[in-house]
A and B are shown apart, each in its own frame.
Chain A
Amino acid sequence: GQNIDQPTEMTATEGAIVQINCTYQTSGFNGLFWYQQHAGEAPTFLSYNVLDGLEEKGRFSSFLSRSKGYSYLLLKELQMKDSASYLCAVRADYKLSFGAGTTVTVRA
């Protein structure tokens, strides 16, 4: 199985930057995903990394280091609508395993 760890909660100010770390232990790794989920709603795809390095997508960037079993999601220029849970998910053998999620609260 997969062991996926991410912080439970983070708080930041509007306009600031927040970095959400995710560490994992798995065999048969073939990709890491980040999803955003607002309370009571479906998760929506943010980013995907399969090779080491940084993937940038607008205000969101995601980094992966496979040798360290480590990823982070960087949220820049935070907006109030970014208040949500951010889920790190690791794919291995066709199965996607999710971390418990990090609840980000953006304050004015």
Chain B
Amino acid sequence: DSGVTQTPKHLITATGQRVTLRCSPRSGDLSVYWYQQSLDQGLQFLIQYYNGEERAKGNILERFSAQQFPDLHSELNLSSLELGDSALYFCASSVGLGSDYEQYFGPGTRLTVT
């Protein structure tokens, strides 16, 4: 158990819908990262927040957005869902910003868009 929690574990929804994935980092971790993992694309970095502020952006679609709240939990919002958005979405956290900080991954949310 990494100490990172994600809800829900599974989510099934229809195309065109909007969903919100939630992540609580490990106690004391200020950085939160979101990743998407699909069978054909591997693990892709989406976005990082540090202490409430966006710090780095990866291959995140405009239909997706995220935020980190004052209590440090984070939410990833996915809208106008398409079949291709079906994937495992992981949240990870780390203590700080630096390159030597290990990231701890949550168990993931499996999103199925039908």
The answer to whether B105 and A94 have CB atoms under 8 Å apart is: no
Q: Which segment of B12-20, B67-75, B95-103 sits at the interface?
A: B95-103
Q: How far is the CA of A94 from the CA of B54 in the complex (A)?
A: 11
Counting chain A CB atoms within 10 Å of each CB, which of B33, B88, B99, B105 scores highest? B99
Taking a contact as CB atoms under 8 Å apart, the answer to whether A43 and B43 are in contact is yes
Alpha-carbon distance between A33 and B102 when the two chains are bound, in angstroms: 8
Q: Is A96 an interface residue (CB 8 A)?
A: yes
A50-66 residues with Cβ-Cβ distance < 8 A to B are: 50
Q: Report if A42-B105 is in contact (Cβ < 8 Å); known contacts: A93-B56, A96-B33, A99-B42.
A: yes
Instruction: Specify which chain A residues have a CB less than 8 angstroms from the CB of B56 in the assembled complex.
Output: 93-95
Instruction: Check if B45 is an interface residue, CB within 8 A of chain A.
Output: yes
- Report the tally of A-B residue pairs with Cβ distances under 8 A: 52
Interface of A is mostly: strand
Q: Which of A30, A44, A99 contacts B99 (CB 8 A)?
A: A30
* C-alpha spacing A31/B99, complex, angstroms: 6
Digit string of B79-114 for contact with A (CB within 8 Å is 1, else 0)? 000000000101000000101101111111000000
Bound CA–CA A44/B107 (angstroms):
10
In the complex, A70 has a CB within 8 A of chain B: no
Binding site for B on A (CB under 8 A): 30-31, 33, 40-45, 48, 50, 87, 89, 91, 93-101
13 example contacts (A-B, Cβ-Cβ < 8 A) are as follows: A30-B99, A40-B88, A42-B90, A42-B107, A44-B2, A91-B99, A93-B56, A94-B48, A95-B48, A96-B45, A98-B43, A98-B44, A100-B42
**14 new A-B contacts at CB < 8 Å, known A44-B2, A44-B105, A97-B58:** A30-B99, A31-B100, A33-B102, A42-B2, A42-B108, A48-B100, A48-B102, A89-B43, A94-B55, A94-B97, A95-B48, A98-B42, A98-B43, A98-B45
